[in-house]
């Protein structure tokens, strides 16, 4: 029987989230597939955290299961990159299972691509509790600089993507399309992240940039906004696309990391 799996590779979920998570699990069970759940989902009452190896072992258990088609990570936070050194990327490469996650899981998604060539989905599956959006994999884009964008998408949450800098897990950036979005952070933080990307030589290698939502900046109506900041860093010749449908909002849509994309204005 085909199965789907639930994991939490980043911060453990609070015990208070159990009720809403059970609603998600019930919804997923109604899909007609067997539901498997990691042992490392919730915080422990004694405040002990599961180790990176323990969380990685749970993830590998599902990648090793030939019946598992999709692995949904329902966590976020800070600690996902702790599991990377414990993953068996050869098993992941051979597995049919697709990994789904967002935010801090940007680290895992991009590591899977860089080490195996496999694509993963940048999306928080808990959003389906609020209604799965139409055309889940078809967010709307607007070209705001250049004639269009074409290439393989890498990236995700900008803060979390930069955790891979200097490691073997960061994707090769030549010819790629860099997707960036963020929940927190205002102008000083974004300048920090963009400065690091520039110092890494990323802007000299990529074919274009996709801007998702930048929740705190947009809430605070920061000026300059993220589009203006990016333009200052990359100049007038870098193709840039913008979407309001990829990020941390409940109605965000999904995008494949590690797959080709072509964006043109209608």
Q: Please check whether residue 251 is in contact with residue 245, taking contact to mean a CB–CB distance below 8 angstroms.
A: yes
**pLDDT grade, residue 5 (50/70/90)?**
very high
How large is the average pLDDT for residues 197-223? 98
The domain locations on the chain are 3-101, 142-264
Widest CA span in the chain = 55
Q: Is the pLDDT of residue 64 over 90?
A: yes
What's the alpha-carbon Rg for the chain, to the nearest Å? 18
Res 246: pLDDT:
98
How large is the average pLDDT for residues 37-65? 91
Catalytic residue among 95, 114, 120, 181: 181
Sequence-distant (≥ 6) Cβ neighbours of residue 149 within 8 angstroms: 143, 177, 207, 208, 209, 210, 239, 240, 241, 261, 262, 263
Q: For the segment 122-179, what is each residue's pLDDT rounded down to a tens digit? A: 999 999 988 777 799 999 999 999 999 999 999 999 999 999 999 999 999 999 999 9
**Which CATH code fits 142-264?**
3.50.30.60
The C-alpha atoms of residue 4 and residue 72 are separated, in whole angstroms, by 8
The share of the chain scoring above pLDDT 90, in percent, equals 92
Identify the bridge partners of residue 40 per DSSP, sorted by sequence position: none
Q: For the segment 68-100, what is each residue's pLDDT rounded down to a tens digit? A: 999 999 999 999 999 999 999 999 999 999 999
The DSSP call for residue 241 is E
Res 108: pLDDT:
98
From first CA to last CA, the distance across the chain in angstroms is: 43
Res 32: pLDDT:
84
The C-alpha atoms of residue 243 and residue 52 are separated, in whole angstroms, by 33
The C-alpha atoms of residue 45 and residue 113 are separated, in whole angstroms, by 35
Res 113: pLDDT:
98
**Is 260 tagged catalytic?**
no
CA-based nearest residue to 242, from 141, 125, 101, 136: 141
Res 46: pLDDT:
59
**Is 195 tagged catalytic?**
no
Sheet with 208-214: list strands edge to edge. Answer: 142-145, 240-242, 208-214, 177-182, 148-157, 260-264
Q: Is the pLDDT of residue 205 over 70?
A: yes
**Which CATH code fits 3-101?**
3.40.50.10740
Mean pLDDT over the full length of the chain: 96
The share of the chain scoring above pLDDT 70, in percent, equals 98
CB atoms within 10 A of CB 172: 11
The C-alpha atoms of residue 188 and residue 125 are separated, in whole angstroms, by 31
Catalytic residue among 75, 95, 245, 248: 248
Catalytic residue among 75, 95, 103, 252: 103
CA-based nearest residue to 73, from 26, 33, 127: 127
**Is 130 tagged catalytic?**
no
């Amino acid at each position: 029987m085909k199965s789907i799996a639930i994991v939490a590779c980043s911060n453990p979920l609070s015990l208070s989230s159990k009720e809403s998570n059970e609603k998600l699990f019930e919804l997923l069970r109604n899909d007609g597939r067997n539901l498997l759940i990691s042992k490392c989902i919730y915080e422990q009452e004694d405040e002990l955290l599961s180790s990176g190896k323990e969380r990685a072992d749970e993830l590998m258990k599902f990648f090793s299961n030939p019946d598992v088609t999709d692995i949904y990570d329902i966590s976020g936070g800070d600690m996902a990159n702790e599991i990377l050194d414990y993953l068996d990327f050869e098993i992941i490469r051979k597995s049919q299972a697709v990994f789904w996650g967002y935010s801090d899981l940007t680290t895992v998604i991009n590591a899977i691509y860089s080490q195996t060539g496999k694509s993963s989905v940048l999306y928080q599956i808990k959003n389906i509790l609020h209604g799965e959006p139409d055309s889940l994999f078809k967010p709307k884009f607007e070209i705001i600089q250049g004639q269009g964008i074409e290439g393989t998408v890498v990236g995700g949450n900008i803060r979390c993507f930069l955790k891979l800098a200097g490691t073997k897990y960061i994707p090769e950036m030549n010819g790629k399309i860099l997707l960036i979005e963020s929940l927190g952070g205002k102008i000083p933080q974004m300048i920090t992240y963009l400065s690091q990307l520039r110092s890494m030589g990323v802007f000299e290698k990529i074919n274009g940039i996709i801007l998702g939502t930048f929740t705190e900046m947009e809430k605070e109506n920061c000026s300059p906004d993220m589009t203006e900041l990016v333009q200052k860093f990359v100049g007038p010749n870098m193709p840039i696309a913008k979407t309001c449908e990829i990020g941390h909002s409940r109605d965000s849509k999904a995008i494949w990391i590690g797959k080709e994309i072509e964006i043109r204005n209608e």
